[in-house]
Amino acid sequence: METIFVKGGTGSSRILAGESLENLKSYIPPSGVFIITDSNVNRIYGKSFPGHPVFVTEPGESSKATETVLSACRWLLDKGAGRDSFILGIGGGIVCDIAGFTASVFMRGVRFGFVATTLLAQVDASVGGKNGVNLDGYKNIIGCFNQPDFVICDTEMLVSLPPEEIKNGLAEAVKHTLIDNRNMFKTIWDNAGEIKELKNTGVLNRLISHSVHVKAAIVNRDENEQGERRKLNLGHTWGHAIEKITGMPHGKAVSIGLVFAARLSEHKGLLKPRDRERLTELLVRLELPTASSTDPMQVLTALLKDKKREADHIHFVMIKSIGRVVVEAIPVRWLQDYVKQHKKDIPAF
């Protein structure tokens, strides 16, 4: 087990990579604990939860809404929760967002912690102190920065995850190796088969720790996304647009976004062609997509709509080498010309 600290404006958080659900009791108060989870997680792991009241949401993005937060607050009031209560979110990124935001606003804020049960939540969503819900189809519009007391990342709980959910998390883990490598890129390369089938707990724990270290280091320097935290958007500018158009799962769209960022970086002379090829091959090894059949001009239109507040420049995260990225303001005109001229080269477009 490894403990990694995240320091935020509202306090610090301990991320416990490789800790077990069995030891949860030693991190929470003996009483006044209220659990928030979803029905899938409750069905599989509910028997192992500590004996505190449980609020169960429906799985899925539509639950990440103010209505759920209000229902949870009413439930908390009904159960006699107070300012000294503790909220425990047990679930994936959606449950963590709902639980973290509910805890942040209930009675002006109560303490909270997470057991992150998806790979995506362990390598990304539960770390960093962002808590938010969606509004009218717009993601994470209502939310806050607030650090949980702790996050337990138990790899044993990943065995029940559908393989597609593992892939979602792996795309974010690869993203973290591009931001700060520390030899993790090669470890994933060498162990891709075992990683995607969750066969090697040791390597999996190293991968989760690495991701948490990378995200924690960036958040420690820039919690509120003024500068360096933007690096975490690597692959997401193009990826989000693909996700919006195709409805493709987030991780897969990010994988395509990473390849696009690599191509753009190579075109600008920042990244060696060999490194771009290695990245693409790693994603293929993990069975993640590296291309989409969507028209790139349509993706660009969606991207520009998404980023309309950034005016005539878009902050794009470029890859300099495996382990080094840089945020560049790219003129919209330039990006339009690039996509127009290279749409045939952008793989399988």
Ligand X SMILES: NC(=O)c1ccc[n+]([C@@H]2O[C@H](COP(=O)([O-])OP(=O)(O)OC[C@H]3O[C@@H](n4cnc5c(N)ncnc54)[C@H](O)[C@@H]3O)[C@@H](O)[C@H]2O)c1
Phi/psi at 84 (5° precision): -95, 10
Least distance between ligand X and beta carbon 78 (Å): 24
**Residue 313 CB coordination number (10 Å):** 15
Task: For Cα atoms 268, 270, 274, give the angle at the middle one, nearest 5 degrees.
Answer: 110
User: Does 287 engage in binding with ligand X (CB under 6 A)?
Assistant: no
CB-wise, 82 or 109, nearer to ligand X? 109
User: Does 44 engage in binding with ligand X (CB under 6 A)?
Assistant: yes
Residue 241, judged by CB atoms within 10 A of its CB (0-12, 13-18, 19+), counts as buried
Phi/psi at 288 (5° precision): -100, 145
Residue 331: helix, strand or coil by DSSP?
Answer: strand
> Which two structure tokens, joined as six digits, stand for 139?
């993601």
8 A C-beta contact, residue 23 and residue 160: no
Least distance between ligand X and beta carbon 251 (Å): 8
Task: For Cα atoms 309, 311, 317, give the angle at the middle one, nearest 5 degrees.
Answer: 85
| Contact pick of 8, 18, 89, 128 for ligand X (by CB under 6 A) | 128
User: Does 124 engage in binding with ligand X (CB under 6 A)?
Assistant: yes
Q: Render 166-189 in DSSP notation, one character per residue.
A: HHHHHHHHHHHHHHS-TTHHHHHH
Least distance between ligand X and beta carbon 147 (Å): 11
CB-wise, 256 or 335, nearer to ligand X? 256
Least distance between ligand X and beta carbon 177 (Å): 17
User: Does 280 engage in binding with ligand X (CB under 6 A)?
Assistant: no
Please, how many CA atoms are within 13 Å of residue 59, restricted to the half-sphere of its CB?
10
Residue numbers 68-107 binding ligand X by CB under 6 A? 91-95, 97
Choose the stretch contacting ligand X; rule: CB under 6 A; options: 38-46, 79-87, 144-152, 300-308. 38-46
User: Does 121 engage in binding with ligand X (CB under 6 A)?
Assistant: yes
Task: For Cα atoms 43, 47, 50, give the angle at the middle one, nearest 5 degrees.
Answer: 125
Least distance between ligand X and beta carbon 212 (Å): 12
Least distance between ligand X and beta carbon 15 (Å): 13
Least distance between ligand X and beta carbon 341 (Å): 33
CB-wise, 100 or 296, nearer to ligand X? 100
Interface mask toward ligand X for 179-218; x: CB under 6 A: ----------------------------------------
Q: What's the CA gap between 96 and 222, in Å, rounded?
A: 21
Q: Name the site residues for ligand X (rule: CB under 6 A).
A: 38, 40-41, 44, 59, 61, 64, 91-95, 97, 117-118, 120-121, 124-125, 128, 130, 139-140, 157, 160-161, 165, 168
